Amino acid sequence: AQSVTQLGSHVSVSEGALVLLRCNYSSSVPPYLFWYVQYPNQGLQLLLKYTTGATLVKGINGFEAEFKKSETSFHLTKPSAHMSDAAEYFCAVIRQPGRRALTFGSGTRLQVQP
Amino acid sequence: DTAVSQTPKYLVTQMGNDKSIKCEQNLGHDTMYWYKQDSKKFLKIMFSYNNKELIINETVPNRFSPKSPDKAHLNLHINSLELGDSAVYFCASSQAAQGSGQYFGPGTRLTVT
């Protein structure tokens, strides 16, 4: 069974700075990995996903993530933070083959300082 | 057009009552889900339906009963509400392919007093 760990429940960056949100997964089989964003009082929006193929995945709003099997990581990055990026970010995995439901990490709140 | 919609958005009720939350998706997906987000923002799967058939039921009390009248709708009925049921409930849908991303509704904030 798969699970995910998000390091850092809160991350604060300055506007224009690099955003790095960390996600590690436990793996016994190749995973399907996802990043979601949740703005205050809203539902979750899919940012990007990794299933197979290219390990660098580009998503919406300038975000990207790299699947590193050797490190069992799927960190989310954005070169330059914008105030509108302030939100809660969730890493998620499909826990086992044939199962479609997502198992979520505990979330990371991103604050962007002016 | 809203892809995944839920009603109501807010629900305040007393302990012991029975309530329902409705979910509809117009994406043509054949799999739908209910997730619960607690006060610490932790998200956990409750149920999953594929073409109106229950495929996942995660150790949820049997006071919670999902119903799928067709593959575009998945409703959640909760009997004998308890304080601990207070949470935000999210409906989601996806295509059958395992790597498909899930699309979430706006959530229903349930408060039990």
Give me the tens of pLDDT residue by residue for chain A, a chain 114 residues long: 568 999 999 999 999 999 999 999 986 666 789 999 999 888 999 999 998 888 899 999 999 999 998 999 999 999 999 999 999 999 999 876 667 789 999 999 999 999
Contact B29, B36 (CB under 8 A): no
Q: Please report the pLDDT score of residue A97 as a whole number.
A: 64
Across the interface, of A44, A103, A107, the residue whose CB is closest to B104 is A44
Contacts of B56 in chain A (CB under 8 A): 99-101
Q: Does A32 touch chain B (CB under 8 A)?
A: yes
**Nearest-5° Cα angle at B80, B76 to B86:** 65
Asked if B41 and A98 come within 8 Å (Cβ–Cβ), the reply is: no
Across the interface, of A46, A88, A98, the residue whose CB is closest to B41 is A88
String of b and e for A55-67 (b: at least 16 CB within 10 Å)? eebebeeebbbeb
Q: Which two tokens stand for residue A78?
A: 């954005």
Contact B24, B5 (CB under 8 A): yes
Asked if B42 and A104 come within 8 Å (Cβ–Cβ), the reply is: yes
Q: Does A67 touch chain B (CB under 8 A)?
A: no
Calpha distance A8→B108 (Å, rounded): 27
| Reported confidence tier of residue B49, pLDDT bands at 50, 70, 90 | confident
How many Cβ pairs within 8 Å bridge chains A and B?
63
Tell me the three state secondary structure of residue A111.
strand
Asked if A100 and B94 come within 8 Å (Cβ–Cβ), the reply is: yes
